[in-house]
Amino acid sequence: MPAAGVVMIIAVLLIVLAVVYYLVSTIVALQRITNSLDEAITGVVGIIEKSAPVDEVVTDINTNLDAGVSLLEGLLVKKAGMQDAVGLVDGLYPGAAAEGFRDFPESKETKAPRISEVYTKGTLTLARLGREAPIAAASPNGPALRNPAYGSTAARGLYPEIRQTRPQAMPRSPVIGTDSPVQYEPSESPGVRKRMPVPAGVGAAPAQGQEQAEGGIVKSGLAFLRRFKNDDEQ
């Protein structure tokens, strides 16, 4: 065989070896890619299966929340009025008035009063309870509940407490100490007095044993109430 033929055979063999080496390496790399993609497909299928009901559930949650928002916004606007409702929201969440209420587009143009500076949160709530509320029992036929200039005073008048009328003389606060007009004896058992306290200048109270003889704790309580009432009348 001529030398040129031998060299040609060797050259072809080298080419074939190179092709085999690179193709086998490529096949191995492609198999690793295939395995990874199989894992990815499994994960993606899991994602698809798990996220399938999400749309329906989230839509339902949003629907319920939308209903809740509409309910609360509607109730707030209905009870407080648009201006005060916007002011209340802005007072609780500064800047929120600019966004307005979702179901009331006109609320965006409503100028929010500075409610948080005029009323405390509790006062505003109580003021909005209305004349029929128990808190307003002291002045059921009084003037308007709110006065923008003197809001806290007007709201304070809702409380059924005599101090709101600013009387000339109020009962003094209880005096305590060794020289106080009403002396309490130390009790041997908690919650049970040896005898009821007696204000200065009043006759001695009946003994505890006597009260119990009249009917026990209930009667002694009634006796105390009677004395309390008599003290008030005096």
Partner 1 sequence: MTLEWIGDALLLLVVLPVVVYLLRGVLNAANSIVPSAQQIALAATAGSKDLDATTLLLTTQDQVKTTIVLAADYGGSLDVILDDAN
* Residue 102 is a binding residue for partner 1 (CB under 8 A): no
What angle separates helix 3-51 from helix 54-80, to the nearest 10 degrees? Answer: 40
The closest alpha carbon to 119, from 77, 151, 142, belongs to: 151
Q: How many helices (H) and strands (E) does the chain have?
A: 7, 0
Name residue 185's amino acid.
E
Residues 149/121, Cβ–Cβ less than 8 Å? no
Binding mask 121-140 for partner 1 (x = CB under 8 A): -------xxxxxx-------
Q: Give strand pairing partners of 133.
A: none
Q: Which helix (H) or strand (E) covers residue 220, if one does?
A: helix 208-233
* Residue 36 is a binding residue for partner 1 (CB under 8 A): yes
Q: What radius of gyration, in Å, describes the C-alpha atoms of the chain?
A: 43
* Residue 182 is a binding residue for partner 1 (CB under 8 A): no
CB of 132 to partner 1, least distance (A): 7
Pick the stretch among 29-37, 162-170, 209-217, 226-234 that binds partner 1 (CB under 8 A): 29-37
Token duo for residue 10: 């060797």
53 or 203: CB nearest partner 1: 53
94 or 130: CB nearest partner 1: 130
> Which positions touch partner 1 (CB under 8 A)?
2, 4-5, 7-8, 11-12, 14-15, 18-19, 21-23, 25-26, 29-30, 32-33, 36-44, 46-47, 50-51, 53-54, 57-58, 60-61, 64-65, 67-68, 71-72, 75, 77-81, 84, 128-133
